[in-house]
Amino acid sequence: MRYVFDFDEPTDGGRELLGGKGVGLAEMTRMGVPVPAGFTITTDACRAFLASRDLPDGLEAEVDEHIRRLEERTGKRFGSPDDPLLVSVRSGAAVSMPGMMDTILNVGLNDEAVQGLARKTGDESFANDCYRRLIQMYGETVDGVPHDRFSADDDVERARAAYTAATGDEFPQDVRDQLRRAILAVFESWSSPRAQVYRRAHEIPDDLGTAVNVVQMVFGNKGDRSGTGVAFTRDPSTGEQGLYGEFLANAQGEDVVAGIRTPQPLRVMRESLPNAFDQLVETMRRLEEHYRDVQDIEFTVDDEQLYLLQTRSAKRTAAAALKAAASMADEGLITREEAVARIDPAQLDQLLHPMIDPAAELEVAAKGLNASPGAASGGIVFDADTAVERAKAGPVVLVRYETTPDDIHGMIAAQGVLTVHGGMTSHAAVVARGMGKPCVAGCEELALEGTTARLGGHELHEGDVITIDGGTGRVFVGEVPLVPPQINEDFETILAWADDIRRLKVRANADNPADARRAREFGAQGIGLCRTEHMFFGDERLPVMQEMILADGERGRRAALDRLLPFQQSDFEGIFEAMAGLPVTIRLLDPPLHEFLPAEGEVTDARLRKRIRALHEANPMLGTRGCRLGLQFPEIYEMQIRAIARAALAVQERTGDAPCVEVMHPLVGFREELARLRDLTESVWAEEAPDLEHLVGTMIEVPRAALRADEIAEVADFFSFGTNDLTQTTLAFSRDDAEGKFLTHYLSHGVIERNPFETLDIDGVGDLMRIAVERGRATKPDLKLGICGEHGGDAQSIAFCDELGLDYVSCSPFRVPLARLASAQAALRETAVPA
């Protein structure tokens, strides 16, 4: 097997084999973009290493051969005392894991070669700077010398002394040995704890391995006509067109990434290095056109000569993703379908996060960079471990001088991140944007001393609450009023394109007029689940509800129900009006009655205690709830149906339009249950609103209902999959307890891959759904089908619902945009011609 390929060699291997950086360098080489020469060691080699903990046979000989070719090409020799070839050894996995793995620069210097480099360049301090950097980076990455043993102010002697003090060895003079151990260190870094945490957080498989790129060094640290930088073809925060990035004169890449020096905006380069700047602009234009996507690049200017060291699709905020996709479609760079396909539905969530109320009069304690949008409040923590610990008790904001990849677990645990130091492309900024978390970076007014923070005249300690606004860079002491998110034009544009593509309709789960209105603003095409139980809470209603439950007989219950009816009716009227012209599915009372009663221990009244005890069930979720209530106490459902019919009539009279009402019965498992409840529904309806159209249907949320869907469909106009209960009952996983108990263990130990309450268990629950669809439609081909469990707002589950041929999905109002996009993407995948 071959393990090594030059950048300009044709290969069949893509990103999986060469890693993202490797394919990018090869592609840029092919395009004629200025890229230093070099070669890629494949992920196959890394996987072989991970299996045996040793470099695979033949790899070293191949590396030697490719070094020889590099020497030929560059006219330099590896380890030469006269004109040494220096290389960087850079990680690059198939999936981008920014900053998680290791890179070593200036490999190939030793005590003799450094003198050769000094003579050749006529710049001794430059040569020494390279050597000092090598000793430090090599020490840290290859030998695990702690970062704080070195300083950027060290000279070669001091760096070497620190190296020897920490390792007990002289710095290795054999350059081939340096190279070999650097390659091993990059392979090893795939397994580092921080890389593992990152992979878990991003669901990246552990067995991919990383490629290694060995690249001829070009030098940004040769003085003022040199430098290094990172740049985006569009603003990664907003998506606005135009170059965006940072530049550091007389520096090597690690200085930018590690935040040792604060970089300057890219435009300073236009003044100091105009030719290289123009070339950069032109190259980035070409790259974006070639990849048809926003690119994130690393570059170095070596004595006015530009080199690209990396290009990749830029991680961007949701707002930037929408703006870039919409404008690239307008520019004709991509189609509308491609624009829709490019947005990660989960990312839309970012835009739907609450923001700080713009009208609130607030005292801004400090300002930093608006590195990743959204607002977050929480108790401050000063290190990642404490973040994880304290996040168990409540929201935290991680406050650091700057973050490093070792902080990744703390960033995952925190609501947001605030750093003193570092730019828009700093680690904190890039990682937070990728996670969709608010981040304010480079807040230089913030002073940290141990576990004390000084911020705008305040002295803060661990646990004190602050609020950060990643959209504006503002930092506040204490909690701050938030407002619902603002949807912008690009969001509307992309979702309108998605609407043209999707087949599934999207409804919302809402049980009050405000939520219904919000759902409608987000594009909901109706209500798929109006849970009526929430309407029985509230100071005026709960006592009446309790009276109803505690009544001795039907007479007493009816008396209480008569008083509840007007409340229900006015709720329904509000919802019908908010949803005018769109269907509203109202689900009759579902939960076990004891949910409305106080706990037995809280009650002194003996009669009440007795009644509460009588209602007690060992497994209430499998007990007297859903349609079982309606059948045992028909007067409850009768009141609800009456309230629905009267509300529909009243709204019709008021507005001239009849609401599209769908009455839904929960927890049905037998045809007979629904048949009886349908009769009840029809007879009440005939009394109240004989001329108003309506539908009667059922939830499918117990396995028996799915299996007997053919019979149940005889008496149903529609089915709505209640996948919360269907998951609970199919898996025998309690929806109230599993997630806090064994499910966590199952997920962390890989017994199952996903939380089935979040993403449909397609093999099990999904199979029952498929059976229900087939059997239901066999009886009634035009049976209306939907889903209203939480899965209706999960992209992967939505794709499955599309495949099943459901008519709609229904989800919480904030998820409606996500569902519109995910439905369109599902439709696009279905129509795509298989490769």
Q: What does the binding site for ligand PEP look like in residue numbers (CB under 6 A)?
A: 529, 531, 590, 701, 722-725, 788-789
Q: CB atoms < 10 A from the CB of 178, how many?
A: 25
Q: CB atoms < 10 A from the CB of 763, how many?
A: 7
**Which of ligand PEP, Mg ion, none does 789 bind, CB closer than 5 to 8 A by kind?**
ligand PEP
For residue 788, indicate whether it is catalytic. yes
**Closer CB to ligand PEP, residue 313 or residue 724?**
724
**Closer CB to ligand PEP, residue 435 or residue 589?**
589
Which phi and psi (to 5°) does residue 701 adopt? -140, 10
Please report the beta strands in 614-750, taking only residues with DSSP state E, as ranges in sequence order: 660-665, 694-700, 718-721
> Using CB atoms, what's the residue nearest to Mg ion?
725
**Which of ligand PEP, Mg ion, none does 788 bind, CB closer than 5 to 8 A by kind?**
ligand PEP
At residue 418, the 3 state secondary structure works out as strand
**Closer CB to ligand PEP, residue 78 or residue 800?**
800
Q: Interaction with Mg ion in 688-707: which residues (CB under 5 A)?
A: 701
Helix, strand, coil share of the chain (percent; to 5): 50, 20, 35
Joined together, the tokens standing for residue 763 give 């093999």
**Which of ligand PEP, Mg ion, none does 451 bind, CB closer than 5 to 8 A by kind?**
none
CB of 590 to ligand PEP, least distance (A): 6
Span from 151-159, 226-234, 432-440, 719-727 in contact with Mg ion (CB under 5 A): 719-727
CB of 767 to ligand PEP, least distance (A): 17
CB of 291 to ligand PEP, least distance (A): 42
**Which of Mg ion, ligand PEP, none does 44 bind, CB closer than 5 to 8 A by kind?**
none
| Residues touching Mg ion, count (CB under 5 A) | 3
The H or E element containing residue 93 is strand 87-93
CB of 637 to Mg ion, least distance (A): 16
Q: Which of 66, 421, 427, 694 is catalytic?
A: 427
**DSSP code per residue over 576-605:** HHHTTTSEEEEEPP-S-GGGGS--GGG---
CB of 685 to ligand PEP, least distance (A): 23
Please answer whether residues 562 and 593 qualify as being in contact, where contact means their C-beta atoms are separated by less than 8 angstroms.
Answer: no
Residues pairing with 107 in the sheet:
87
For residue 46, indicate whether it is catalytic. no
Which residues touch 209 (CB under 8 Å, ≥6 apart)? 43, 44, 46, 47, 49, 50, 93, 187, 190
**Which of Mg ion, ligand PEP, none does 345 bind, CB closer than 5 to 8 A by kind?**
none
Question: Could you give the angle at the alpha carbon of 537 between the alpha carbons of 536 and 540, nearest 5°?
Answer: 90
Q: How many CA atoms lie within 13 A of 475 on its CB side?
A: 33
**Closer CB to ligand PEP, residue 340 or residue 664?**
664
**Which of Mg ion, ligand PEP, none does 531 bind, CB closer than 5 to 8 A by kind?**
ligand PEP
Q: How would you class 574 by CB atoms within 10 Å of its CB: exposed for 0-12, middle for 13-18, buried for 19 or more?
A: middle
From candidates 108, 220, 438, 722, binder to Mg ion by CB under 5 A: 722
**Closer CB to ligand PEP, residue 725 or residue 794?**
725
Q: Is 725 in the site for Mg ion (CB under 5 A)?
A: yes
Amino acid at 284: M
Joined together, the tokens standing for residue 610 give 């007795």
Span from 99-107, 563-571, 724-732, 776-784 in contact with Mg ion (CB under 5 A): 724-732
Angle of helix 554-578 relative to helix 513-521, nearest 10 degrees, comes to: 30
CB of 697 to ligand PEP, least distance (A): 13
Alpha-carbon distance of 771 to 730, in angstroms, equals 14
Contact pattern for Mg ion over residues 564 through 583, marking x by CB under 5 A? --------------------
**Closer CB to ligand PEP, residue 458 or residue 531?**
531
Q: Which of 46, 530, 627, 788 is catalytic?
A: 788
Give me the sheet containing 366-367, strands edge to edge: 366-367, 474-477, 465-469, 375-381, 396-400, 416-419, 439-441, 369-372
**Closer CB to ligand PEP, residue 529 or residue 545?**
529
CB of 736 to Mg ion, least distance (A): 12
Q: How many CA atoms lie within 13 A of 574 on its CB side?
A: 16
List contacts with Mg ion (CB under 5 A): 701, 722, 725
Q: Which residues belong to the active site?
A: 427, 788
